[in-house]
Structure 1
Amino acid sequence: MKNDYKRTTPEEALKKLTEEGRGSLKIYIGYAPGVGKTYAMLNDANGRLNKGEKIIIGYLESHQRKETESQIGNLEAVPRKSLEYNNVAMEEMDTEAIIGTKPDTVLIDELAHTNVPGSKNKKRYEDVEDILSQGINVVSTLNIQHLESLNDVIRQITGITVRETIPDKIIEKADEVVVIDIAPAALQSRLKEGYVYKNDNIARALKNFFRLGNLNALREIALRQTAEEVDEDLEEYRKEHGIKEHWHVIERVMVCISPSPTSKKLIRRGARIAKRFKCEWIVVNINSKRIFAPKITEKDAATLEGHFKLARQLGAEVVNLTGKSISKELAQFATEKYITQIIIGHSTRTKIETLLRGSTVTRLLKHTRDIEVHVIPNDLI
């Protein structure tokens, strides 16, 4: 009888013990200031407090918004500690006092905040890590523009370089991420009515960061980021429960190309479909290792490089694979990447060639029964 039991190493046991003793992290995320992250966090916290949970405020930044302050309710706050920097008295979150209070959960606003020089940690998220390591749950808030990987994108959209950023892994490791969403036009109305900033800042904000185009783009980024996190959680669930079927939650497009000149039109078709669904898309070429497969000439390589260049310009990820069976490699790659739609050109083989060598398209259809395959006729490409 085969024994599949695997002995746990001391390192694995320590890691498991550490993770089990760690508090959970919940993050309220929004696409701009004023969408209601802190309001929602406080509202939820009071409900939990009323149910008997020992929950406190570790750090709150209300920005003097009356509707936010009205949600504090019966929540108790840990006093901030005073620090001196350049002969100026400043306040910071008192991490040691929070840990000493031993709450079940602590609310910590503005996760991307940079601490006053001289603090134990440079960034607030590092203080949060210290608190989580003590088995205390943390609920925090974050705007999407503070993610490190989005820094260049945010600058291109808004023209503003965000100085305070956090590593993406903080979001990836969070136990729960809640998107607080509001229509951009409604957010602008809140801004005009003085709910977000003081009156002397409103006109400037509307002309800069809070332009409608900016807000629409930031909102889409925030929703996409959360969708990706949900997709990863879903995949983890499928693996844990042995579910092999692909659940089409988010569209992903794969374009299959070759050195053929017609591949450029396949790439353009893929770009249009990806734009329609606002989704990721990948352009894939397979270099066949079969004995009788035609060798790639210098002209073919140059043509292929031109295809790759076009694909990248249109926003695709480009992948060049090697394998004996083109259809199997494409099918395996599509499964691994959770592709939902495949675009491929109609076979150009003659009847005799198809009889002798088979059809890549036919084999691909056989291997990808749960994926939508678009076979584009030659006269259309």
Structure 2
Amino acid sequence: MTTQRPDDGSRAEPSTSLAAGRVRAGGGIRAGGGIRAGVEAAGRFRIYLGAAPGVGKTYAMLDEAHRRRRRGGDVVIAMVETHARPATEAQVAGLEVVPRKTVEYRGARFEELDLEAVLARRPQVALIDELAHTNVPGSGRNEKRWQDVLELLAADIDVITNVNVQHIESLADVVEQITGIAVRERVPDAVIRSADQIELVDSSPEQLRRRMLHGNIFPPDLAGEALRGFFKTDTLTALRELTLRFLADETRGDLHERRSLARAETLWETAESVLVGVSTAPGADATLRRAARIAARLQADLHVAHVMPIEARPSDVKIATLRRLADDLGAHWSDLSGEDPATALVDFARQRQITQIVVGPGRRGRWLEIIGGGSTIRRLSRLAGDAGIDVHIIARAASPSAGSPDAGTRNPDRWLRGPDADSGTPTP
């Protein structure tokens, strides 16, 4: 169900559904410090997804909480940020609130989700704002709020949360191109795709700008700068389109999976699978994210391969960073040995029945340098073609971003989180 936040603060009404029941992807989302470590999630997981701050994600989440409570559900607010918006504050009334944990850090006091208190309370449903939030150091055992959510799911507690599209890991480079801002707080795609339900909370760019002018999103002293920056009409339009495309991919995935399950007894279907070759060249992270988006659209498994000379070891710091990104994207990493990268990639693809290979530019404008017998790209295309494998060449690398091996220290996403973003969690 899609909900749209009204300008006048009245109750949001349901409209057309764009995403319904989600099937947890492969049971790979687990709690306890990492996506593939710890106890497998058991509770049901709903995410409200928006294109920008102020579309009404928190309002819609609270509205759903009231509906469940009226039906007799045991619902608590584990963490909700109202940002002093009157309509949102009014929605909190009548709901049980689990007290937050107060933490002192670098001479300042912060309030964080009290994970232990919520686990001890054991509600049926917990509401948690801002899935991408980074916890204050020392506030608990998890660095990220999404890790707290996984622990609650593992404890058989249903979680309703929200996130903006710019915090999805595979879209980080696209968002940076649209906004000019490198988003530091990101949620792994595997976590997003593990949701049982993803619902769009939508608002037109014009409506968002009106709400901003009326002081319904940010305080008046911040509104002007926001309207000239992140809240420009073309930026909001591009982010809205990105959100709709992401939801469309998810909806197609549900339909494909349901059809496959329904026809499993009578029809053998070959599955798409994507392999991306990476190196330490600039732009490798952008190539990896692009491959993840291709895999998502194909509803395919994603494999990442780094080819090294036979005697080499994968010790490069940049490779370690890429491995973490691959894990966040839900990909399978492999270190391959071989003097010819093209042959190594195609042999690996044949063994794993991979149907698509993605490569990007190297330091000299190609994935690897020119070597004997023609370029690696040309030889890869020939070998893959003989094997019936499609090759995608990503010709342009995105600018360095917050999670990139070549990243700088850009200002955090001031307009991507809310009016108090600069006073939120400090950088350790």
Normalised by the length of structure 2, the TM-score is: 0.54
Equivalent residue in structure 1 for 2:204, among 170, 183, 189: 183
Answer whether contact 1:80 1:93 (CA < 8 A) is retained. yes
Q: Which residue of 1 aligns with 2:239?
A: 218
Residues 250-289 of structure 1 aligned to structure 2 (within 5 Å)? none
1:111 aligns with 2:175: no
Q: Which residue of 2 aligns with 1:139?
A: 160
**Pairs aligned (count):** 252
Answer whether contact 1:46 1:73 (CA < 8 A) is retained. no
Displacement of 1:319 after TM fit?
11
After superposition, the CA RMSD in angstroms is 3.2
In the alignment, the residues of structure 1 paired with residue 148 and residue 163 of structure 2 have an alpha-carbon distance, to the nearest angstrom, of 15
Displacement of 1:83 after TM fit?
1.2
Code of the residue aligned with 1:79 in structure 2: it is P
Per-residue deviation, residues 189-246 of structure 1 (Å, max 9, x unmatched) = 111111100000011000000011100110011111111111111111111111789x
Code of the residue aligned with 1:124 in structure 2: it is R
Q: Which residue of 2 aligns with 1:69?
A: 89
In the alignment, the residues of structure 2 paired with residue 234 and residue 28 of structure 1 have an alpha-carbon distance, to the nearest angstrom, of 20
1:155 aligns with 2:176: yes
Equivalent residue in structure 1 for 2:256, among 235, 243, 252: 235
In the alignment, the residues of structure 2 paired with residue 93 and residue 241 of structure 1 have an alpha-carbon distance, to the nearest angstrom, of 41
Q: Which residue of 2 aligns with 1:362?
A: none
Equivalent residue in structure 2 for 1:201, among 211, 215, 222: 222
In the alignment, the residues of structure 2 paired with residue 90 and residue 55 of structure 1 have an alpha-carbon distance, to the nearest angstrom, of 25
Displacement of 1:321 after TM fit?
3.0
Tell me the secondary structure at the aligned position of residue 70 of structure 1: helix
Equivalent residue in structure 2 for 1:322, among 364, 386, 394: 386
Residues 157-172 of structure 1 aligned to structure 2 (within 5 Å)? 157-172=178-193
Q: Which residue of 1 aligns with 2:147?
A: 126
In the alignment, the residues of structure 2 paired with residue 116 and residue 98 of structure 1 have an alpha-carbon distance, to the nearest angstrom, of 18
Code of the residue aligned with 1:166 in structure 2: it is V
User: 5+ residue gaps in structure 2?
Assistant: 1-26, 29-35, 268-296, 299-373, 391-428
User: 5+ residue gaps in structure 1?
Assistant: 1-10, 246-278, 281-300, 309-317, 324-328, 334-381
Answer whether contact 1:46 1:72 (CA < 8 A) is retained. no
**Which one is further off, 130-139 or 81-90?**
81-90
Code of the residue aligned with 1:28 in structure 2: it is Y
Code of the residue aligned with 1:47 in structure 2: it is R
Residues 22-101 of structure 1 aligned to structure 2 (within 5 Å)? 22-101=42-121
Residues 292-303 of structure 1 aligned to structure 2 (within 5 Å)? none
**Which one is further off, 71-80 or 50-59?**
71-80
In the alignment, the residues of structure 1 paired with residue 242 and residue 169 of structure 2 have an alpha-carbon distance, to the nearest angstrom, of 13
In the alignment, the residues of structure 2 paired with residue 143 and residue 321 of structure 1 have an alpha-carbon distance, to the nearest angstrom, of 40
Answer whether contact 1:83 1:91 (CA < 8 A) is retained. yes
Per-residue deviation, residues 29-85 of structure 1 (Å, max 9, x unmatched) = 000000010001101110110110001100000100111112123111100011111
Code of the residue aligned with 2:198 in structure 1: it is V
Code of the residue aligned with 1:60 in structure 2: it is V
Q: Which residue of 2 aligns with 1:343?
A: none
Tell me the secondary structure at the aligned position of residue 73 of structure 2: coil
In the alignment, the residues of structure 1 paired with residue 110 and residue 222 of structure 2 have an alpha-carbon distance, to the nearest angstrom, of 24
**Higher RCO (C-alpha under 8 Å, 6+ residues apart):** 2
Code of the residue aligned with 2:52 in structure 1: it is A
In the alignment, the residues of structure 2 paired with residue 181 and residue 89 of structure 1 have an alpha-carbon distance, to the nearest angstrom, of 34
Tell me the secondary structure at the aligned position of residue 33 of structure 1: coil
In the alignment, the residues of structure 2 paired with residue 131 and residue 161 of structure 1 have an alpha-carbon distance, to the nearest angstrom, of 30
Tell me the secondary structure at the aligned position of residue 28 of structure 1: strand
Code of the residue aligned with 2:121 in structure 1: it is T
Code of the residue aligned with 2:143 in structure 1: it is K
Answer whether contact 1:102 1:136 (CA < 8 A) is retained. yes
In the alignment, the residues of structure 1 paired with residue 188 and residue 249 of structure 2 have an alpha-carbon distance, to the nearest angstrom, of 16
Answer whether contact 1:146 1:166 (CA < 8 A) is retained. yes
Displacement of 1:320 after TM fit?
4.5
Tell me the secondary structure at the aligned position of residue 157 of structure 1: helix
Tell me the secondary structure at the aligned position of residue 117 of structure 2: helix
Code of the residue aligned with 2:110 in structure 1: it is M
Code of the residue aligned with 1:154 in structure 2: it is V
